[in-house]
Structure 1
């Protein structure tokens, strides 16, 4: 019996007339309209207060998702590793995934640097620059290779779960899953319990994801009500340049997927559209995690691969965030006429390769990483004040890119491992998932 689906339903399930991706698009449009009306009809203070109440819906939704992430990652990853059979298989998948992440990170950093140098978005802004000594009120702690390696290992599994430290949860889950696999028949009962826990977590996730359209509406409405749309015209060159770079990155990711998956990449892109839109609208790649698992199930990626690669990707494969860091730093340097040589820019990218790891789940993490990097190259930290007003709109694009990049990575690794179902088998599995989801959402059904 396949593992329960987590999210979207076809039109006939639960009486819905629209697929959820269409509901999310409509919610985004309504959110923009509602937010703009609030912004234009109320004072700045009143609009911010109203936005605070509206954002309660999206805040609750994101808290519910964060509540699920730790147990969901643990249960799916342990069950997946236990079914791999041995530590050798785990190590092979790990190094294949890590190799993909490393190449994707280098491409993202290079692309952000190249586009920022070509478009020069920071020159001739026509805006008053913040004073060089102005404070951006962002804590930018130092982050070294030693810190990163130590941070990999949790002091306490309970603490890692409480803080949603995905990478630490992955490390513990790997040990736990490998141990289960090594014990063989002795661990059958516990392995079955982990499988049952996975079913429970996915069923809870199905309920939570019903709130997605409402959360999208609230998130967009609150953002527009607070910032308005006029700010977009002031930073049109900066934002336009960044989204051009993102579009190129999307094309490169799709091309890489096409090389390894062939025409099936288009099916995958269609399946992840809900996850893409949700992460875009909520500016949270974490919100898309359950939907990505479901999309990969329907695509034919076996759960033992997707439950292993996706959590790793949330710490090692943040393509959109990494590209944004290089693009934003060069934008600030250009605005303040700070010349950065080619060697300096390559050094900056090397630093970002390290400091960007583990930023998933940390509020405004990209800004913190940028602030930490600015100090290394004597670029005014005050430049962060330039982009704070539009960061929410940019965060949407980079979060959606992170989600898309991780799903493609999982599919490619599954293909390499021979753990990708054929198209016919994947279609049959998707129908079974739809049937399970119909039962999960049927209030008259009792297990």
Structure 2
């Protein structure tokens, strides 16, 4: 019993159950617990920038061959585009087949919204109007390196880390090797700090779930239950259909992989943010058999370019609103919609609510469906954000395994140890053991 109570999975599950109970029984108190969940997510965000920087720099520095870096990055981006486009097509198809918005008088729903809902809807509409996708891509280049780290911008940190890693591989070894050794030690320290922060994961999950149920209430699920059901079922089919087939093609088991990352999935469920699992996913994928260079490059990039769950949600929600407003979309309009979503979905980060802003910007870009219609989704969006985030995390994990396998950067021995629950050491642990051992004990 003592062993069970000390298990992180058990602790997070218990915290989620308690959060649901507190939010349902004491909604006012539950809603007031939002700072607890937010503080935990901020603790994780605090570590994301340095962990990504160190992991990517060490990964590229370890690759040596810069052509290989470009090949891995290019292959990852191609995979991301193919799979997210497939997710968009599946989402639109599911929405057309199930018709979740049929029979809803959207104009009445928007007209009778509360003042609070109207204010929140107008906030998202204003943010959507301000979004400029040319600016999004130029924003990848930071004004300063310090600013990128201070703001925790994943893409900006990733860009600087790639440039730093490439430069590190181009200078003489007499300069680069001491620096790599220092970064190795810093990397271990940062993951040790992450281990300390993760002890607070149950508290963060409790606060996040109590706030969600307390503020929005379980009763808010009923009017838009069909939409939620379609979203959840489509994501379920995507994970166990599309991603499962991809894993089987590469002779890997999706079920075993999900069992290996169950703690990260529960953490995302409790906090409703895929960013909360980002640092641990890099470490977990290394332990599962992927090389550090692939895991360190693919996982952070995927958080901006491989958002399978967000793509499914955006496509279903857009078709749902068209149906709710009685707007018939032609095949050309739906194909145009897929094209726009291919761009706008790349602007959704792994933070709660970002998908909602991107939805508003997509509606603004199409100019077919009233942007004010997002007000209809305010009550249930938070409940669907968990499904989006979990699907994003699983999709990025599968992408990393696929790239590692295709590049011959997958350690089967380490993989088997991980499956046996033997706590397979990550590649970085093996490097550290080698570099810190006495000279007469090194291989």
- Contact 1:132/1:382 (CA < 8 Å) preserved in 2? no
- Are 1:116 and 1:241, in contact at CA under 8 Å, matched by a contact in 2? yes
Provide the residue aligned with 1:38 in structure 2.
26
In 2: Cα distance, 1:425 partner to 1:125 partner:
50
How far apart are residue 18 of structure 1 and its match? 4.7
Cα shift at 1:335: 0.6
Number of aligned residue pairs: 414
CA RMSD of aligned residues (A): 2.3
- Whether 2:393 is the aligned partner of 1:418: answer no
Q: Is the 8 A contact 1:108 1:322 kept in 2?
A: yes
- Aligned partner of 1:386 in structure 2 is 376
User: Given the alignment, which residue of 216, 225, 232 partners 1:227?
Assistant: 216
| Length-normalised TM-score, structure 1 | 0.87
Shift in Å at residue 352 of structure 1? Answer: 1.2
- CA-to-partner distance for each residue in 1:67-114, whole Å, 9 max, x for gaps? 111111111111111001021110011011111101111111001100
Post-superposition Cα deviations, 1:49-68, rounded to whole Å, max 9, x if no partner, equal x2343222211100101111
- The TM-score with structure 2 as length reference comes to 0.88
Q: Is contact 2:414-2:425 (8 Å) kept?
A: no
Matched, 1:113 2:92: yes
Contact kept, 8 Å, 2:58 with 2:184, in 1: the verdict is yes
Q: Distance in 2 between matches of 1:84 and 1:117?
A: 46
Aligned to 1:80: 59
Contact 1:111 1:323 in 2 (8 A): yes
Cα deviation for residue 340 of structure 1 reads 1.0
Q: Retained in 2: the 8 A contact 1:77–1:170? A: yes
TM-superposition CA deviations, 1:270-307 (whole Å, max 9, x none) = 11111112112211000011221232122111211111
Question: Please, which of 245, 248, 263 is the counterpart of residue 255 of structure 1?
Answer: 245
1:238 aligns with 2:227: yes
> Which ranges of structure 2 fall in alignment gaps of 5 or more residues?
430-443
Shift of 1:199: 0.8
Matches within 5 A, 1:25-174: 25-39=13-27, 47=28, 50-125=29-104, 128-131=108-111, 136-137=121-122, 138=124, 139-141=127-129, 143=131, 146-174=134-162
* Residue of structure 1 equivalent to 2:186: 197
Q: Which moved more, 1:403-412 or 1:23-32?
A: 23-32
Is this contact kept in 1: 2:4–2:10, CA < 8 A? no
Residue pair 1:414, 1:420 contacting (<8 A) in 2 also: yes
Q: 1:183 aligns with which of 171, 175, 181?
A: 171
Q: 8 Å contact 1:297–1:430 — kept in the other structure?
A: no
Cα deviations by residue, 1:228-255 (Å, 9 ceiling, x for unpaired): 1111121111100111111111111122
Distance 1:425 1:106 in 2: 30
Partners of 1:425 and 1:404 in 2: CA distance: 17
Alpha carbons 1:164, 1:361 under 8 Å: kept: no
CA–CA distance in structure 1, aligned partners of residues 219 and 15 of structure 2: 21
2: distance between equivalents of 1:255 and 1:22? 30
Displacement of 1:120 in angstroms is 0.6
Which structure shows the bigger proportion of residues in helix conformation?
A: 2
SS at match of 2:346: coil
- Whether the aligned pair in 1 keeps the contact of 2:348 and 2:355 (CA below 8 Å) is yes
1:327 matched to 2:316? The reply is yes
| SS class of match (2:222) | helix
- 1:27 and 1:104 map into 2 onto residues whose CA distance is 34
The answer to whether structure 1 residue 401 and structure 2 residue 380 are counterparts is no
Q: Give, in whole Å, the separation in 1 of the partners of 2:30 and 2:300.
A: 32
Which of 296, 301, 306 is the equivalent residue of 1:307?
Answer: 296
**CA apart distance, 1:263:** 4.0
Q: Which runs of 5+ in 1 are unaligned?
A: 1-10, 40-46, 438-447
Q: Distance in 2 between matches of 1:32 and 1:327?
A: 27
Determine helix, strand or coil for the equivalent of 2:109. coil
Shift of the 264–245 alpha-carbon distance from structure 1 to 2, 3 Å rule, reads: closer
What secondary structure sits across from 2:290 in the alignment?
A: coil
1:200-234 deviation line (CA, Å, top 9, x unaligned):
11010000011111111111111111111111121
SS, match of residue 140 in structure 1 = helix
Q: CA deviation at 1:190?
A: 1.1
Q: 8 Å contact 1:132–1:381 — kept in the other structure?
A: no
- Cα 1:87–1:272 change in 2 (3 A) is same
Checking the alignment, whether the CA contact within 8 Å between 1:78 and 1:176 is kept in structure 2 is yes
3-state SS of paired residue (2:347): coil
The Cα of 1:378 is off from its aligned counterpart by: 2.6
Note the 1:360-371 alignment, pairs <5 A: 360-361=349-350, 363-371=352-360
Q: 2:345 aligns with which of 333, 347, 356?
A: 356
The aligned counterpart of 2:367 is 377
What is the Cα deviation at residue 38 of structure 1? 0.8
